[in-house]
Amino acid sequence: MLRFFVRRILLVVPTLAGLLLLTFLLVRVVPNDPSAALAGENATLAQIEEIRRQYGFDRPLWQQFFIYVGQVAAFDFGKSIYTNAPVAQDIKQRLPATLELTFIALALGAGLGIPLGVLAAISHNRFADYAIRVLTVGGLAVASFWFAIMLQFLFAMELDLLPLRGRLAVATDLPPLVTGFHLIDSLLAGRLDIFADTLRHLALPAFTLSIGAIATITRFTRSGVLETLQRDFVIYETAVGYPRPVLIGVYVLRNSVVAAITQIGLLFGALIGGAVVVESIFDWPGIGTYAVRGILSADFKAVLAVTLLVGIIYAMVNILVDLVHALVDPRVAEQL
Amino acid sequence: MLLLRKFSKDLPAVLGLAIVVLVLVAALLAPHLAPYPLDAYESHLTRRLKPPSAEYPFGTDNIGRDIFSRVILGTRSALIVSLSVVSGAMAIGVTLGLVAGFYGRWAGEAIMRVTDVFLAVPQLILALALAQLFSPSLESAMLALTLTYWPFFARIVYAETRRLKASLFVDALQCIGASAPRIVFAHILPNAASPIIVRLTIGMGFTILTAAVLGFLGMGAPPPSPDWGLAIAESRQHLPDTWWFATFPGLAIFLTVLGFNLLGDGLRDIVDPRLRRSR
């Protein structure tokens, strides 16, 4: 298993190196004068000159690339134009909020998607199956930003059941900072009121974000279960008299979720991409809102740092997924 | 004929085809179908934010334009953007996939590594970063979407080409001295066509969604174009008083994407029966 893990990590190295090169090219080569682009629109000539020296734009391109790699390795992404703070610090502050939202959305996706998929498979070609299919196809076609606005309109504005935006109510104090995840921090501090408030604020954005995930996981689980149900061991175990719930819930499910687990890794990337939009609608103080503000204020450094970070997270999650995959199905580990 | 009969039995796919045809017709005849075709750009401040009525089926927006007309007029830009993005991405992706799959070796490796890099970041984030670097406009949004969508085609075509290259008929062609371009374009490409077409259909729906996000964030078509994403962004300031302003452009996006997705699913079932309804 260790060998599998190491090899899997080595496979990611070229991709990440390529990603570094890509972001490097984007910021250094695409704009005509990268120093001017980095300095922002209102910079003076002296400031531009200063940046040119500071970033080494007066040196050959390959040297610049190594300087850039060194900066990234030291988490030095420069200062954000918008917040006027180092980008690395901004991201560090905001990342837990995004991860909390994404994990909850992923948990919703798996928690609803897998049971729905199993339900659709065991009622194959009957009403529940059709109803679930209509819902999942619809779920993949809905624009998340529109859905978010509709949810806000219905639950926050008309019914006044849930908060409209933000991560905590203004009157609620912040939980003591331990992990940055409000759900965990508030529990650690024993503050159930903060926990409840966090949940209320999470409900709409997390549900919006999870729509696509629920739909995808449902479809993969359904097809996986349908395929497994035709295998010989199912007939055997039915004949021997295993109770149906145990048979489906343990033996069939374990043999069917492999494809769904792979999808979770791919979904994580889609979720972080979706979080950019969902966060900016719900004013969620994460890296998505940060990226959108960066885009609107032409803050190259912020946007590229987020791009790079998301690429790294994405790669790590996919490694993790492969590990889980190998644990569920040991044959996978031998293939690599 | 057999395929056609099989397709017509697949009710969701037929429904998808019907929606796609409907949207296409709406786009082609938009200025004739829209009751107030001039409302794409004209404003009527005396009839702002009117709720849906017989006169204005979807109501009017913040500067008095008929939303029904603007939704119909919006089909044009949505389809033009997604068609050009997907066909551009297809041209790049198919070519690179064929070259990488057929010639293999270091060129193929290099191409596939570049593909991996593009797939390492979610498409939306990469497209946003690119669109911003090119300075926000509809053209840069389209360019950014094209530059981030081609890897999906490259992957599929690469896999298909590798599979076909190992087949007997390619060996036979090589034996009788067919040139490499001839084998690739006249023999391998037609055999790889069906997965490409499936990807194309699904990509249309997908691109309409992503382009709408760019429009919503103000990085696509500028006002006053009747863009769906832009209209939803404009409507936010008028909630909760005017539910119709945000609802109908969103439903238009939903219906169009649904049509392409259903059609794509149906086509996939026909092309690859092993995958029946799998994803």
The answer to whether residues A172 and A318 belong to one domain is yes
DSSP B137: S
Phi/psi at B96 (5° precision): -65, -40
The answer to whether residues A100 and A9 belong to one domain is no
- Which of A8-12, A51-55, A129-133, B8-12 holds the top average pLDDT? A129-133
- Indicate the residue of B122, B236, B277 with minimum beta-carbon distance to A223: B277
What are residue B66's DSSP bridge partners? B60
Whole-number Å distance between alpha carbons of B106 and B130: 28
What are residue A86's DSSP bridge partners? A79
The answer to whether residues A56 and A112 belong to one domain is no
On whether residue B54 sits in a domain, the answer given is no
In the predicted structure, residue B123 carries a pLDDT above the cut 80: yes
The answer to whether residues A195 and A269 belong to one domain is yes
**Cis geometry, peptide bond prior to residue A163 (ω within 30 degrees of 0):** no
The answer to whether residues A6 and A116 belong to one domain is no
On whether residue B258 sits in a domain, the answer given is yes
State the CATH number of the domain containing residue B101.
1.10.3720.10
On whether residue B74 sits in a domain, the answer given is yes
The answer to whether residues A44 and A109 belong to one domain is no
What is the number of structural domains in chain A? 2
What is the number of structural domains in chain B? 1
Say whether pTM exceeds 0.90: no
Contact between chains at A272 and B122 (C-beta distance less than 8 A): yes
In the predicted structure, residue A32 carries a pLDDT above the cut 80: no
Polymer length in residues for chain B: 279
Confidence of residue A34 (pLDDT cuts 50, 70, 90): low
On whether residue A126 sits in a domain, the answer given is yes
Residue that is last in its domain, among A16, A43, A73: A73
The answer to whether residues A153 and A226 belong to one domain is yes
On whether residue A154 sits in a domain, the answer given is yes
Whole-number Å distance between alpha carbons of B74 and B29: 12
Compute how many other C-beta atoms are within 10 angstroms of the C-beta atom of residue B93: 26
Residues from chain B that touch A27, judged by Cβ atoms under 8 A, are: 133
In the predicted structure, residue A332 carries a pLDDT above the cut 70: no
- Each residue of B172-194: pLDDT tens digit? 998 998 888 888 888 888 888 88
The answer to whether residues A251 and A134 belong to one domain is yes
Q: Are A252 and A234 in contact (CB under 8 A)?
A: yes
On whether residue A80 sits in a domain, the answer given is no
On whether residue B174 sits in a domain, the answer given is yes
Residues from chain B that touch A310, judged by Cβ atoms under 8 A, are: 121-122, 125
Residues from chain B that touch A269, judged by Cβ atoms under 8 A, are: 121-122
pLDDT at B279: 37
On whether residue A132 sits in a domain, the answer given is yes
The answer to whether residues A144 and A216 belong to one domain is yes
Contact between chains at A269 and B114 (C-beta distance less than 8 A): no
On whether residue B229 sits in a domain, the answer given is yes
Residues from chain A that touch B125, judged by Cβ atoms under 8 A, are: 272-273, 276, 291, 306-307, 310
On whether residue B2 sits in a domain, the answer given is no
Contact between chains at B250 and A314 (C-beta distance less than 8 A): no
pLDDT at A101: 93
Sign of CA dihedral A312, A315, A319, A321: positive
**Residue numbers of the domain that contains A63:** 2-73
On whether residue A198 sits in a domain, the answer given is yes
On whether residue A111 sits in a domain, the answer given is yes
The answer to whether residues A152 and A294 belong to one domain is yes
On whether residue B177 sits in a domain, the answer given is yes
In the predicted model, what is the mean pLDDT of residues A244-259? 82
- Each residue of A260-272: pLDDT tens digit? 777 777 788 788 8
Q: Scanning every residue of chain B, which has its alpha carbon at the shortest distance from the alpha carbon of A317?
A: B120
Which one of B14, B82, B128, B276 would you mutate to disrupt binding with A, by most A Cβ within 10 Å of its Cβ? Answer: B128
- Each residue of B200-257: pLDDT tens digit? 988 999 999 999 998 888 888 888 888 898 889 888 888 777 888 888 999 999 999 9
Residues from chain B that touch A280, judged by Cβ atoms under 8 A, are: 217
On whether residue A83 sits in a domain, the answer given is no
What are residue B60's DSSP bridge partners? B66
**Residue numbers of the domain that contains B16:** 10-29+61-275
Residue that is last in its domain, among A10, A43, A73: A73
The answer to whether residues A30 and A136 belong to one domain is no
On whether residue B251 sits in a domain, the answer given is yes
Contact between chains at A273 and B219 (C-beta distance less than 8 A): no
Average pLDDT, chain A: 82
Q: Scanning every residue of chain A, which has its alpha carbon at the shortest distance from the alpha carbon of B121?
A: A311
Geometric angle at alpha carbon A313, from B155 and A76, rounded to 5°: 115
The helix (H) or strand (E) run that includes residue B76 is helix B67-103
State the CATH number of the domain containing residue A316.
1.10.3720.10
**Could you report the predicted ipTM of this complex, rounded to two decimals?**
0.87
What is the nearest CA distance from A156 to chain B, expressed in angstroms?
10
Whole-number Å distance between alpha carbons of A81 and A31: 17
Residue that is last in its domain, among A73, A107, A128: A73
In the predicted structure, residue B260 carries a pLDDT above the cut 90: yes
The answer to whether residues A178 and A217 belong to one domain is yes
